[in-house]
Structure 1
Amino acid sequence: MSKKFKDTSNITPVGEVRPTQLLWTYGPGALIDMPSLSVVTLGIDRWEKDRCPPIVEARLLAAVQKVLGSQVETMRMPPFVKADKVDPWSAEARVGVPVRPFPRWLRCVKCGMLAEYDSGLFKVKESRYRPENTRFVHQSCCGSEGDKPARDADAVPARFLLACRNGHLDDFPWRYYVHGGQTDCTAGLRFFESGASLQTENLWIKCDGCDAKRNMAQAFGKSGKENLPACRGRHPHLDRYDSDCDEEPRGVLLGATNSWFPITLSALAIPLARDPIIQLVQDGWDNFVDVESLIEVKAILKVMVKNAILPGISAYTPDEVWAVVEAIQNGDIDNTVTQDDIKGPEWDVFIEPNPPTDWPHFLSESTEVPASYKAQISNVLLLKRLREVNALIGFTRVEAPEESNDPDEQPPMAALCNDTPDWIPASQVHGEGVFIRFAEDRLKVWEEKPAVKALSEKLFEGHQGWRNSRKLDPDKGYPGIRYVLLHTLSHLLIRELALECGYNAASIRERIYADTSDGKSQAGILIYTAAADSDGTLGGLVELGKPDSLGRLLDQAINRAKICSSDPLCSEHEPQKDRTLHAAACHACAFAAETSCERGNLYLDRALVVATLDNPHAAFFNDLTNE
């Protein structure tokens, strides 16, 4: 996928990213830091919507509409070029998402001059055949001493920015900062280094006119609150300034992860109807909702098959499809879609006595439970084919969003476009997985153990302290001790699977099913691959879900978790004292890659899975009759 930035005269390609990166890393409002250039991805109202292929997943679309409004009609993939080699001068080479240089301030690498890119001192050097080499240069630079022959020198982005919790992002106020406040001085600025290291104490900004200077250490921490101006409410991806912002701006570095956190929703493509054709028509109902005749159905199917909009629909005749459409329109078939609970329908499918075995995006097979774990595990389901759809609904800055769909439980969510969106970016990944359901009777006995209740109380106190420090309701959002157990075991298994299945740990993901509200009794984990191409369906993960392999991996995971290389510090960690959301867990034993964990490595505790040095009585995999 190419990236391009616009001016009034032309479009300049500046590099490439993968389509999925535009959801997780470089979405609207995010900075893309390249070797010679930094750009911000513009809002989706600037994207070429017609070049964005639609993705059909009715349950996820309903969940998105609940958050953003019913005006959202479709989910679409970012535009991309299908061909491997494209003529750099062709129209196809210009397909991509629009970006703009940001920050606007550039620094000459030779003379240290600091100025805005549109000040007339810099020019763009375009590279059509190697777009990633496109860069700015300082024209006729004479070097830091001014005595060298004039020649063009590279100019790189100034690496300091301002961001606030309300989702605003702005250029660093260089003139304000070096002069200690508002000033009428318009002389040139220079950025230079002193000392052997690149600590902020050794980075200086100086005014050529009045000789005012200040080092960058005073732009961070408590000093930053005194030396930085109020937030201007800027959204560079929308060309907009909010009128009021009462949040304190914070200095951030270009490329820092806290400058952009995506807020996404995801769902698995699962069969909700017993008849495959009914499921397909329901999934693509937006295409059939206004159909009034068989002729219209034929025309729609022709377009669908040609553009691969609804895989699997080509196996049915127009007459068969029209019969289902008529039945739904007449109310003979229920076409309602659950939007309050994305995971609930998935759980219902996984625990069916005879789960669906062959659908366009879902192929499952029941298998035996490992012999040594039949007391703790009810059943295992091998998912040989599945599809996950992810939708980007917004983002935050400075502070990561909490795992909650309630807007009151998240930092303020920044918008993807200026107006209310009628579509949102999405991606789909194909993969395979293993679903493990745990014995409800054993879990209930385990949850009543005094040691488990005591540990749950400590975790809840840590949860309350963590939320109090963020001005959130301290009594909401706790997932329960059952969730912490399943979540920890999932991480331990992911570590073992990554060593043997052929996938790296970052390409393996989890979904935890632990909802016990309203009489529900979920207790399961799904570990699956999440690759954007065929590499996610190679079969390596499914093979390890068979009884002998899964039993061996569980043994290894449990034995390895008993002792952490950071013990005794890891096992003695007390969340209620540190206001943290994990107990006996760290990078050496239970943390997983950010792309793998659905909770950002929160709510983890090895002591719930195995006996640890500090807590030998709360382990689920100990003899439940012993204390």
Structure 2
Amino acid sequence: MSKTAVGEVRPSQLLWTYGPGALIDLPNLSVLTMGVDRWDKERCQPIQEARLLANVRRVLGAQVESLRMPPFGERDVTSPTSAEALMGVPVKAFPRWLRCVKCGLLSPYDAGLFDLKKNPYRPEQTRFVHRACRGSRGDQPARDADAVPARFLLACRAGHLDDFPWHWYVHGGRSSCQGTLRFFESGASLQTENLWVKCDHCKASKNMAQAFGQAGKENLPACRGRNPHLDRFDETCEEDPRAILLGATNGWFPATLSVLAIPQSGSPLAQLVEDGWTFFEDLTSEAEVAIAVKTLKKTAQLPGIEQHTPEDIWAAIEAHRTGGAEVTPGDLKAPEWEVLTAPNPPTDYPHFMSKKVATPAGFEHCITRVLLLERLREVNALLGFTRVEAPDETVSEDPVPRAALTRGAPTWVPATQVHGEGIFIQFDLPSLVSWAGKESVKPLDDRLRAGHRGWRIKRRLNPDDGYPGVRYVMLHTLAHLLIRELALECGYNAASIRERVYADTTEGRDQAGILIYTAAADSDGTLGGLVELGKPENLGRLLRQALERAHVCASDPLCAEHDPSKDQTLHGASCHACSFVSETSCERGNRLLDRALVVPTMEHPGAAYFDPS
């Protein structure tokens, strides 16, 4: 595989948008990110988060040694051919089939008809060209013409991705004809009915509308089990392949785990030693500690450790060896809930600085605590990905098969860490229990549960699993309403505000809270705007504004009358006009929402938790 720089993306995008197996749509060509086993591990800086690593091992196996950031380098380099300029992740051109923009020639790029034009000084201008093209009628002077990726692909729910079977499709199955194919458009619009592929030799032709829906099942071959990011084929695949468009959002969905960095030890130094134990476990003396601290300070891999002396760090290491407990996998949110609701939450840890404030006036009956998180850190790890359909609910359930990141068992996984600030709101348990038991709430709960069952049945999943309960739906909807309101005033991009909903009622747990926080990879995540709005005088006003806006939706009465039990969806009275947020902001992909549980609506005026009457 040649080393040719073809563009650039942000490191965080390699986790959420352009990870292994994902297509990157560049200005002149399309490339696919290769598997993690092709990445240069030495250029991937490790991230220390023991709690997340333990849970990644639970899912992917004990052989996972570390979490590592994607490689990144300086934008300004002295030479486009230097090692710094070629730093990044390996990609390959995909799909293989290209189309000439002048004559419509449709052919794989390795058939010898297309050339790659490299531009080391402007990598984004690297492109394929059709040599000596004479136009669609063959009567123009021979000159190179741009070739662009074919816009159709095949994908399946098992994560496989393949080139569109152009010869099979146009000839109606296996054929000995190997004539040149042409792709052309007819009509004024670019609907699939007006897109055609034609064979120059046998004159067979077919429009692309027959590749989708029920017709697609009859005109497309079985899935070959292709994993182009791993350069291999799976032996069998029972999923039906579907035609998708190049650049479509259903081509790649990340399956991730995320945790908040929370203190679990008795002192800040003990917590730092626990978080960075991989750096300290092999040290044998105080002198080695001093050298390690200098290295950590230069690389910024364990912020805060430089504030302590080597003597104190060595003592903390010895204490951890004799009495430190190994982090065990488990519920990711339970430890966070314990810290957030502790009588005296930590205020001086490097990645967790909190401050208790008063409850907003007028909400004392339903809110018991407001905690301002002046600094927090979120760590995310990529476990795999899906295609066609997003990971349905939680990674532990594995409702949709995840495609692998590597050929074998991974020894490390890509991860990112973001710093930010947040507002934690804890709700009154007795009032929530009383509300959930109201007769007016039960019909809505039944409809949501029925929609959830139908949604899972359609996907051949256990219909009795995964429904989080009406408390979760209410808190989740309120979090969305508050995110939309905060985005108007806090100064952050709406997509950089996220949520964590704590509503677990299983195994004796009784959680009832929401955390709304910023999560940006740079200093934009800690500007202070969100914490300022969490103060009682501001939060009360924002809550009242959010609840008032939610009473009537621009899509009412259709939104208010939506019944999830009839169309097997996962949301009730909820839509883009009232409570949907950015996909990156929601932990459930805009599922399990119903504003009728939060405020009175036209269809259900008596089921709201926040009832003005």
> Does the TM-score normalized on the shorter chain lie above 0.5?
yes
Is the aligned partner of 1:192 residue 2:184?
A: yes
Q: Aligned-pair distance for 1:405? A: 2.5
Give the distance between the partners of 1:290 and 1:403, measured in 2 at CA.
39
- Trace 1:409-448 onto structure 2 (pairs within 5 A): 409-448=398-437
Aligned residue in 2 for 1:240: 232
Select between 338-347 and 534-543 the one with higher mean Cα deviation: 338-347
SS of the equivalent of 1:229 reads coil
Is the aligned partner of 1:359 residue 2:349?
A: yes
Q: Aligned-pair distance for 1:198? A: 0.9
What's the TM-score, normalizing by structure 1?
0.96
Give the distance between the partners of 2:348 and 2:316, measured in 1 at CA.
20
Is the aligned partner of 1:372 residue 2:377?
A: no
Give the distance between the partners of 1:513 and 1:433, measured in 2 at CA.
15
Q: Aligned-pair distance for 1:335? A: 2.5
SS of the equivalent of 1:500 reads coil
Is the aligned partner of 1:469 residue 2:461?
A: no
Query: Could you tell me whether the CA contact under 8 Å between 1:357 and 1:363 is conserved in 2?
Result: yes
Query: Could you tell me whether the CA contact under 8 Å between 2:57 and 2:64 is conserved in 1?
Result: yes
Aligned residue in 2 for 1:182: 174
Q: Aligned-pair distance for 1:544? A: 0.5
Query: Could you tell me whether the CA contact under 8 Å between 1:53 and 1:78 is conserved in 2?
Result: yes
CA deviations 1:118-139 (Å, max 9, x no partner) are 1111111111221111100001
CA deviations 1:22-50 (Å, max 9, x no partner) are 01100000001112100000001000100
Give the distance between the partners of 2:458 and 2:595, measured in 1 at CA.
25
Give the distance between the partners of 2:155 and 2:219, measured in 1 at CA.
15
CA deviations 1:107-126 (Å, max 9, x no partner) are 00001111110111111111
Query: Could you tell me whether the CA contact under 8 Å between 2:255 and 2:395 is conserved in 1?
Result: no
Q: Aligned-pair distance for 1:338? A: 4.3
What's the TM-score, normalizing by structure 2?
0.98
Q: Aligned-pair distance for 1:569? A: 1.2
Aligned residue in 2 for 1:131: 123
Give the distance between the partners of 2:29 and 2:228, measured in 1 at CA.
16
Is the aligned partner of 1:607 residue 2:596?
A: yes
Give the distance between the partners of 1:417 and 1:214, measured in 2 at CA.
37
CA deviations 1:462-485 (Å, max 9, x no partner) are 111111111111111011111001
SS of the equivalent of 2:230 reads coil
Select between 456-465 and 614-623 the one with higher mean Cα deviation: 614-623
- Trace 1:106-125 onto structure 2 (pairs within 5 A): 106-125=98-117
Aligned residue in 2 for 1:454: 443
Aligned residue in 2 for 1:302: 294
CA deviations 1:327-373 (Å, max 9, x no partner) are 22222xx3232421111111111111211112111111111111110
Select between 421-430 and 314-323 the one with higher mean Cα deviation: 314-323
Aligned residue in 2 for 1:208: 200
SS of the equivalent of 1:395 reads strand
Alignment gaps of 5+ in structure 1: 1-5
Aligned residue in 1 for 2:5: 13
Is the aligned partner of 1:541 residue 2:533?
A: no
Give the distance between the partners of 2:211 and 2:554, measured in 1 at CA.
38
Percentage of identical aligned residues: 66
Aligned residue in 1 for 2:547: 558
- The 3 A distance-change label for structure 1 pair 347 and 487 is same
Q: Aligned-pair distance for 1:289? A: 2.5
Is the aligned partner of 1:272 residue 2:264?
A: yes
Query: Could you tell me whether the CA contact under 8 Å between 2:225 and 2:233 is conserved in 1?
Result: yes
Give the distance between the partners of 1:515 and 1:86, measured in 2 at CA.
54
Give the distance between the partners of 2:76 and 2:260, measured in 1 at CA.
30
- Trace 1:19-58 onto structure 2 (pairs within 5 A): 19-58=11-50
Give the distance between the partners of 2:85 and 2:363, measured in 1 at CA.
56
Q: One-letter code of the match for 1:202?
A: N
Aligned residue in 2 for 1:586: 575
Give the distance between the partners of 1:370 and 1:45, measured in 2 at CA.
51
Aligned residue in 2 for 1:3: none
In the alignment of these two chains, the number of paired residues is 613
SS of the equivalent of 1:455 reads helix
Q: Aligned-pair distance for 1:568? A: 1.2
SS of the equivalent of 2:7 reads strand
Give the distance between the partners of 2:77 and 2:550, measured in 1 at CA.
48
Q: Aligned-pair distance for 1:288? A: 2.2
Q: Aligned-pair distance for 1:576? A: 1.2
Q: Aligned-pair distance for 1:584? A: 0.9
Aligned residue in 1 for 2:472: 483
- The 3 A distance-change label for structure 1 pair 313 and 446 is same
Aligned residue in 1 for 2:219: 227
SS of the equivalent of 2:482 reads helix
The Cα RMSD (Å) is 1.2
Give the distance between the partners of 1:245 and 1:370, measured in 2 at CA.
55
Give the distance between the partners of 1:383 and 1:247, measured in 2 at CA.
45
Select between 310-319 and 170-179 the one with higher mean Cα deviation: 310-319
Give the distance between the partners of 1:205 and 1:559, measured in 2 at CA.
54
Q: Aligned-pair distance for 1:420? A: 0.7
Query: Could you tell me whether the CA contact under 8 Å between 2:256 and 2:395 is conserved in 1?
Result: no
Give the distance between the partners of 1:425 and 1:81, measured in 2 at CA.
16
Query: Could you tell me whether the CA contact under 8 Å between 1:282 and 1:335 is conserved in 2?
Result: no
